[in-house]
Amino acid sequence: MKLKLLFAMLLGGALSAAAQGGYQDGVDNYNAGRLDVAKIILENTINDPQTNKSVSYYYLGAIDFQGNDLNAAKANFDKGVAADPANGMNYIGLGEVALKQGQKGAAEDFFKQGMQTDKKNTALMAAVARAYYNVDPVAYDKEINKYLDKALKDSKNTESAVFMLQGDMKAKDDPGNAASLYELAIEADKNKNIVNREAYVKYANTYFRVAPKFAIQKLEELNQLEPNSALAQRELAEKYYDNSQFGSACLQYGKYLENPNHFQKDEQRYAGLLYSAKDYDKSLEVANSVLSKDP
C-alpha cells in the first residue's frame, strides 16, 4: 500500500506538451479510454503534414461528446466534414449530436449521409449502432440491434466493429463474455492482416478483473505484434504494475520510456519503480530530469 501511495503521489504532475508519434497515437489512446492524453495528442498534431484531419476532428468531436460539450463536438465534426466530405464518420458524429439534442429526424438524415459515403463499409453501420447506444441504450435498443444485425449479415460475420460494441455493452456486468467478444474482434481483423490494438487493450482491461494472467498474456502478444507501439508498451507496463509485478513493470517502463511517444507522468512512475528496486542513482537521475522540465 505504501508503495502504491508513493506512485499515486508521483502521478500528480501534468502531462507533457504532446507525444511525438502523430495523430494515430491520439486515436489509439482514445480507443484505450485515455481521453485526456488523446485530446492533447490530437490537438497538437492537427497541423502536422501527415495528419488525416478528418479523422482527428472526428475523435476530437467524440471526446467533446463524451464530455457533454455538444457545441464543441458539433464544431469538430463540421471541421471533419470540411476536411474530407468522403469520411462518413463525421456525419455519424453530427447525427449523434442531433440525437442527443432530441432531433431524431435530423439524426437519421446524418446517419444516412454517413453510410452513403461508402455503402459497402459495414463499420459505418456499426458506428450508427454505437451512436444510438451512446445516447440511450434502452430507448434505442431496437435501432442498435437493427444496425448490428445488418452489419454482421452484410459482412458475413467479419465486422470487428460489431464485436467491439457488443463487448463494450457487456464489459461492466459480464467481463468474461465481453472478453470473448473482444477476442472475436481480434480474430476477425487478424484474418484481414490487421492488428486491432483497441480490442487487445479492451480485452486486457476488462479481463484483468477476472484473470490478470490472461490479460497480461494478451498484452504481451500485442507487444510482439506491435513492438514500436507506445500504447502497447505502456498498457503492458501498467498491467504489470497493477498486478504488483514491480520488477517486470520497472523493466517494461524502462523500455517504454525509450519511445518518444511517452508522457511526463510515466517518467514520474518510473522514478518510483526504480526507487522501489533500490536503483537509487537511476531513480534520482529520472526525478531530476522531470524536475528540470517541470519544477
Q: How many whole angstroms separate alpha carbon 290 and alpha carbon 10?
A: 11
4-11: average pLDDT? 41
pLDDT of residue 15 exceeding 50: no
Confidence of residue 21 (pLDDT cuts 50, 70, 90): low
pLDDT tens-digit profile of 208-226? 988 999 999 999 999 999 9
User: Which fold would CATH assign to domain 1-16+227-295?
Assistant: 1.25.40
pLDDT tens-digit profile of 145-203? 999 999 999 999 999 999 999 999 999 999 999 999 999 999 999 999 999 999 999 99
Given a contact cutoff of 8 angstroms between Cβ atoms, the answer to whether 204 and 215 are in contact is yes
pLDDT of residue 10 exceeding 60: no
Report pLDDT for 222: 97
Given a contact cutoff of 8 angstroms between Cβ atoms, the answer to whether 150 and 182 are in contact is no
pLDDT of residue 75 exceeding 60: yes
For the chain, give every residue range classified as CATH 1.25.40.10: 52-155
Greater confidence, 7 or 295? 295
Q: How many whole angstroms separate alpha carbon 58 and alpha carbon 30?
A: 11
Q: How many whole angstroms separate alpha carbon 121 and alpha carbon 154?
A: 9
The proportion of the chain whose per-residue pLDDT surpasses 90, expressed as a percent, equals: 72
Given a contact cutoff of 8 angstroms between Cβ atoms, the answer to whether 143 and 129 are in contact is yes
> What's the whole-model pTM score?
0.87
pLDDT tens-digit profile of 122-148? 999 999 999 999 999 999 999 999 999
User: Which fold would CATH assign to domain 52-155?
Assistant: 1.25.40
Q: How many whole angstroms separate alpha carbon 48 and alpha carbon 56?
A: 11
